[in-house]
Amino acid sequence: MSESVKIVEKETVPSEATMIIGLPDVGLVGLISTSYIISELNLKEIGYMDSDLLPTVVVLHKGLPHSPLRIYGNQNLIAVISEMAIPAPSIYPIMQKIVEWAETKKVKRIISMGGIPIQNRQTITEPKVFGAASNQEQIDMLHKKGLKIMKEGYIVGPQALSMRYSSNRKLSVIALLAQSFYNYPDPEAAAMVLKELAKISEIKVDISKLLEKGEEIRLKARDIMKRTQQEMNRMKKSQEYDLPLYV
Amino acid sequence: MSENQRRLSIFDVMGESMDEFEAWADEVMESPFPEGPSWNDDVCCLYALCNVFVTPREVIITADLPNIEPETAKVEVDENLLEIKAQMKKKLRFADLGIYYRQGEFSSLRCQVRIPVPVNTSKMTISCRERIWEIRFPRKKRQQ
């Protein structure tokens, strides 16, 4: 299944690094937070993803073509982002490939950032962040560091698959999910995720610039949000509102 | 002949019904964010993201209007079409986004939404928090 997805390494990829994943999803929380880390830590493009399952798109930066799904990094950190909404059916092979690749690079742990849709988000000034993890050891660590745990509920989309595929491979995955708008870009939620990320990792960035640029980001991210919403509808993302049944 | 005419008329009726159904489906399925650019350089506006929620009693429309001067915001309803317009704090040019192959600048944000069910527009309420505008209409009861 994952044969149709290829990761091309442009530079040496660190081993035993932490991997963060920020793909377009609810409120673009993961994408905004990961892009901010890339720019604040000045991470270099070290690879990209190539697949015929992705639309025929290249992104031009400074006149040069780039794959919309790219991998950045430094000695300790690998960051995966997509500048394009990923078609819902392609999420499976793409996430499977990312996790397989992470294993070959002996990634210490994967941290997937995103949002949890909240209907009354505009009444919340400081969105809360909840953690989920692929094993009890990581849950205990999140507890210890003072993070709230998402004890019950559904996760749909890239985070769900990163957890599912990593559990099969005994890789540690943490999902950091901030209360956010469903289909409005939410830089404030992204900032809250970064705040919590700093508690559990060495990845520390000053979020003040992100908060300052919030309105500008909301304005510029309308198109990718619109396309992401279409894909979220296809992957039945609204199931995250459902209440799980435990008897 | 008369039987053919009757058949034809049945097909005509079916055809008309299908046309009506398609028009209705188009209207219902119409996305609040139509395909095409999220901007209109003829009227110098960017289209805002918006949502429509229909509850048993209300229609709630929200719109994300970042970077606007709140006092310039105008909400207008014309039959079943709602329009929200506001001036931006600062004009945005394509060049500000690093796009030099297009020309144009944008000074307002705009959101146009079809209200999917009959509502009482005289009881419209408007609120705004964190640049998210929320417009609520009570739904009309059937006998109204």
Task: Supply the CATH number for residue A97's domain.
Answer: 3.40.50.10900
> Is the CB of B129 less than 8 angstroms away from the CB of A225?
no
Chain A residues whose beta carbon lies within 8 Å of the beta carbon of residue B129: 122-123
The predicted-structure confidence for A147-191, as pLDDT tens digits, reads as follows 999 988 888 888 888 888 888 788 899 999 999 999 999 999 999
> Is the CB of A122 less than 8 angstroms away from the CB of B134?
yes
In-domain check, residue A213 = yes
> Is the CB of B64 less than 8 angstroms away from the CB of A123?
no
A92 touches chain B (CB under 8 A): no
Mean of pLDDT values over B60-83: 93
> Is the CB of B64 less than 8 angstroms away from the CB of A181?
yes
In percent, the amount of chain B with pLDDT more than 90 equals: 53
Q: Structure tokens of B16? A: 């008309």
ipTM of the complex: 0.83
User: Which residue among A123, A218, A226 sits closest to B33, beta carbon to beta carbon?
Assistant: A226
The predicted-structure confidence for A78-126, as pLDDT tens digits, reads as follows 999 999 999 988 999 999 999 999 999 999 999 999 999 998 898 998 9
Mean of pLDDT values over A192-221: 95
**What 3-state class would DSSP assign to A125?**
coil
Residue of A201, A47, A211 lying closest to A113 (CA atoms): A201
Mean of pLDDT values over B82-92: 94
Domain that includes residue A52, residue range = 2-241
Per-residue confidence (pLDDT) for residue B9, from 0 to 100: 67
Per-residue confidence (pLDDT) for residue A97, from 0 to 100: 94
In-domain check, residue A159 = yes
A222 touches chain B (CB under 8 A): yes
Query: Are the beta carbons of A237 and A183 closer than 8 angstroms?
Result: no
In-domain check, residue A247 = no
> Is the CB of B131 less than 8 angstroms away from the CB of A215?
yes
Mean of pLDDT values over A55-63: 89
Q: Residues of B92-128 as b/e, b for ≥16 C-beta within 10 angstroms?
A: bebeeeeeeeeeeebebbbbbbebeeebeeeebeeeb
Per-residue confidence (pLDDT) for residue A143, from 0 to 100: 94
The predicted-structure confidence for A226-246, as pLDDT tens digits, reads as follows 999 988 888 877 777 777 776
User: Which residue among A183, A214, A216 sits closest to B49, beta carbon to beta carbon?
Assistant: A183
Per-residue confidence (pLDDT) for residue A170, from 0 to 100: 80
**What 3-state class would DSSP assign to B135?**
strand
Instruction: Determine the residue among B40, B51, B64, B107 to mutate to test chain A binding: the one whose Cβ has the most chain A Cβ atoms within 10 Å.
Output: B64
B13–chain A nearest CA distance, Å: 35
User: Which residue among A123, A215, A225 sits closest to B49, beta carbon to beta carbon?
Assistant: A225
Chain B residues whose beta carbon lies within 8 Å of the beta carbon of residue A220: 97
In percent, the amount of chain A with pLDDT more than 90 equals: 74
Chain A residues whose beta carbon lies within 8 Å of the beta carbon of residue B62: 122
The predicted-structure confidence for A21-42, as pLDDT tens digits, reads as follows 999 999 999 999 999 999 999 9
Residue of B72, B65, B70, B53 lying closest to B110 (CA atoms): B65
The predicted-structure confidence for B5-64, as pLDDT tens digits, reads as follows 555 566 666 666 665 555 544 444 444 445 678 889 888 999 999 999 999 999 999 999
A215 touches chain B (CB under 8 A): yes
Higher pLDDT, A62 or A200: A200
Query: Are the beta carbons of A22 and A79 closer than 8 angstroms?
Result: yes
Residue B67: HSE in the Cβ half-sphere, 13 Å Cα cutoff: 24
Per-residue confidence (pLDDT) for residue A235, from 0 to 100: 81
CB pairs under 8 A between A and B: 44
Confidence of residue A247 (pLDDT cuts 50, 70, 90): low
In-domain check, residue A216 = yes
Confidence of residue B143 (pLDDT cuts 50, 70, 90): low
Q: Residue A1: is its pLDDT beyond 50? A: no
In-domain check, residue A178 = yes
In-domain check, residue A246 = no
Per-residue confidence (pLDDT) for residue A195, from 0 to 100: 97
Chain B residues whose beta carbon lies within 8 Å of the beta carbon of residue A229: 33
List all residues 6 or more positions away from A50 whose beta carbon is below 8 Å from its beta carbon: A5, A6, A7, A8, A67
In-domain check, residue A114 = yes
Per-residue confidence (pLDDT) for residue A243, from 0 to 100: 76
Q: Residue A200: is its pLDDT beyond 70? A: yes
Mean of pLDDT values over A188-213: 96
Q: Which residue in chain A is spatially nearest to B90 when comparing CA positions?
A: A216
Q: How many domains does chain A have?
A: 1
- As a whole number, the mean pLDDT across chain A is 91
Token pair 């909240």 in the structure block, residue: A118
Residue of A40, A34, A59 lying closest to A49 (CA atoms): A59
Per-residue confidence (pLDDT) for residue A50, from 0 to 100: 92
Per-residue confidence (pLDDT) for residue A155, from 0 to 100: 85
